[in-house]
Structure 1
Amino acid sequence: MPTNLPISPEASSPAPLIHWTEGGEARSARWRSERGAAPPKRVVIADDSLSADAAYRLACEGTGLLWRGDFQNARMLVQALARRVDKPAKPKRDKRVKAQKAGEAAEAIAPVEALAPVFPEAFHLHRQAQAQRARVLSMVLIPFDADYSIPLRRAPDAKKACAEAWGPAKEANGSSVASLRELMGFISAHEWRRKGVPIPALGEDGPHNRIHPHYGVFSPVRGEYIDLVAQAPVPEGTADLLGFDIGTGTGVLAAVLALRSGVQRVIATDQDPRALACARDNLKRLGFPQIEVREADLFPEGRAHIIVCNPPWLPARPGSPVEHAVYDEDSRMLLGFLNGLAAHLEPKGEGWLILSDFAEHLGLRTRAWLLAAIDAAGLKVVDRLDAQPHHPKAADASDALHAARAAEVTSLWRLAAK
C-alpha cells in the first residue's frame, strides 16, 4: 500500500515552540509532532507523584504534562490514561439488555449489506473517538536533548529511532519536547524496520524474504493482497514483460511482480521521500537490480504490460501524515490510477487494482460507483481474484466496526483497455 505522505512540516517551516514555567522561570523548547499537532497551550510539570486520575483530568482539558520523573513510570501513566479513555460507559441494565437483544435479532435476520446504512455514522463516530483518545494520550510529554537523548531516569536509548523519524540530530536545534506516545510509535517502527516482515511470496529463505519498513511507510503485515499479486495470471503474448508498481511504498509488490514468470523489468514509483528511500533500501538488500525506483506522481513515462496499484482503501480525509497510507480523500489516487491506466498499457496489457471492499461495507463507497469509475476510464474487467483477510480485527467482536471487518474481501481486479 502506498504512502503518499507529505514532507514533515518541520522540513519546510520554522519549528514551533512549546512554552512552560518551571522553577519560577519561563522556558521554551522546540516542539516536535510528526502528525502536525500544535503544542499544548498550557503545560505543567509532572512527575511520579502525579496520580493517574489527576493526570486524566488535566489531559482531558488539553493540558500538557511535561515529565520530569522516571521514564518507565511515564509509560505506565499513559497505559493508565488509556484504560480510563477506553472504559465504556455503563448504560442502565434494562436498556443494555434490550439493545443487545435487538442487535442480535438484527444480525440474525439481516445480511451485512442491509446493515450498511448504519455504518457510515458508526465509522465517523469511531474515528472521532480514536482522535479524542489520541489527543488525551498525547498529553504526556517527554524532553529531549539536542542529540535525541532523553534526560530522565531509566529512559531508553532511542536516538536511532528518533533519527529515523525526525532525521539526523543537529546540535543547533537544541532541546525539544514531544509526546511520549509518539516516541513509542518511533520505537515500535524502529523494531519493525530492524527485524523486518517475512513475506512468503518472496521465498522460503528467512533472511532473504523480509521487507524492512521505514517509519511512516505502510508495513506489509496483511499478506492477502501480496499473495494475490503472486497468484494472478500473467498476460500472455510476450516473454519480455515490463511492469509498473504505482505507489510502491516498501517496494514489496515490485519485488513480487519481478519474480513472476516473463517479467524482465519493473519500474516502481512513489512521491514520498521516505517511501522512495525505503523501497530502494529493501530492493537493494533483496537483490533486485531489474527494479528501478523513480519519484513520480502515479505513472512513469511509457507503457507497461502489467501495472499494479494498491491505493489506500478508505475514501476519507487523513487525520495525520501517517494515515495517508489508509485514507484516500475523495478517492483521488484510485481515480488517478483508473483514469490514467489505459494510456499506459501496452496492447493486451493489464492493470491490477488491489482494493478491499471494506469501504463498501462501511457505506463510504458502493460497488456500482467503482464499476462506473472503471467504465468511465475506458476500462473493462477481465477477471477478479478475491481473498479473505486474516488480521486479528476481523475476529474481534468487540471492535466497533466488527460486522464490516468480518465481511471484508480483498480483491485484485484485472483491468484492460476497452
Structure 2
Amino acid sequence: MNLYQVAAFEFPPDIMYDQQDGGQPRLYGREVELIRALSTACNFTVNFLEPRPREVWGSRQPDGTWTGIAGMLGSGVADLGIANFFITTLDGRMEIMHYSSPFDQNVNCIMLRVPPPEPRWQAVLWPFTQYTWFALAVGLLLSGPLLYCMDRCSAQRLGHSSYLESMMSSYLHAISMHVLEPVAREPNTNTSRVVVAFLWLYTMVLGMSYCSNLTAFLTVTRQPRTIDTFKDYLESDLSIVGFGHFYIDLMMGSTNNYVKELSKRYIEITSDPVSWVTDGRAGYITSYQYIQFTVTELNSEYRTPVVRLMKECAWPFSLAVALQSFSPLKPKIDDAVNNIVQSGMLSYWFDETARMASQDTSLSDTDVNALDLVHRFTWNTGSRCMWESRSGSHTGEE
C-alpha cells in the first residue's frame, strides 16, 4: 500500500484541528474525510504535512519559485493538497500543479461584525430625519421675530399696546407653542391672532407626529445602517484582511472599480482572522462555506448575532483536490471524487463537522461515524479503484 503526502493547513470547516495534550493535533473536517475516503477507496495511506507559516496556499516569487502548498506540490514534497483549493490559472498555477474533478462550488464573500444596536437615549432624535430637524430649527428661529414684528406693527397701526414686551418674550411664546405648553397671553390684534393660529396648527400637527413616531421607535430596537455591497464597504473606514497573496491578486485584477480600490486596504494575516472582525477593525474575505460555518458557530455560542455575511459576493470557483502536474493518480482520484459527490457524503461531513465543533464532541466519535459511511461507499467504488490500481501495475503504470 503506497504512502502519499498530503499538504494541508487548518481551514474550518474543511480542515480542523483537535488539539491533544502533549501531542500532535488530530485532523478532522470535510476535506480531511474526503482524503480518507479516497485513500480507503483507492487503497493508499496518507500522511498530512503543513506548509511553512504564512505561506498557506502559496504564491509565485520574483525568482519564479513557489511557496506554500503550491511549492510543495511543484517540488514533489507533497503528492496531494487540500485546503479549499480553487481551480484557477492565476499566476500560472497550472504549470506546477493540476486539479482533480471538482467536488463543490464556492464563492468568496466578506465576513463582517454585526453592528451593535443604536443607544436607546438617541430615540428622541429618531422620529424625524436630519433634514426635518434642520427645517424645524429654522422654523423655530424665524417664528419668534415673525410673531414679534407682526404684533408690534399691527398694534402701532391700531394704537394698541403690544402683548409681547420684547423679542425674548416672543421667542418664549413660540417655544411654548412648539412644546405644546399652554400660553397665558392672548394676542390683541387680528393680525397677531392669525399668526398665532397658524403657529398653533403647525405645532400641533408637528407635536402629534413626533409623539406617535417616538412611541413606535421605543417599541423596537433600531439597527444602524449595514454594509451590504463593495460600494458600501469602500465608503466605510474598515480594512480588509485575508490569508496569503491570492485574494489581493484577485482584487487587483477585478473589473469592479470598488473592489480594486479596496485592494489598497488589504492586510495579509497569518492567524486569528475572526478577532479582526469581532473587534470591528476589518472584514475577512474568504469562502462562503467558511463564513457560513463561523457565523453558525459564533452566533450559537453567544446566543445573539455576532458576525454576518455581506450580501454582495464575488469570484465563484470550483473546489478540487490539488495534485502534482501530470500525476498518475489523477484518473483514479477523479473517478472516486465523482462517486463521492454523487453519494452526497460531502454535505454529511460538513454537517458533522459543524455539529462536532459546536458540541465539542470527541474526535474519536466523529471518526467512527465518518468511517462507517466511508466503508459503505467503498463497497461501491473501492473495488473498482483497487482493480484499476492492480491492472495498472501489470501494464507497467506507476
Report the TM-score range of the alignment, normalised by the length of the smaller protein.
Answer: under 0.3
TM-score normalised to the size of structure 2? 0.22
- The structure whose RCO (Cα within 8 Å, separation 6+) is larger is 2
* Greater fraction helix: 2
* Greater fraction strand: 1
TM-score normalised to the size of structure 1? 0.21
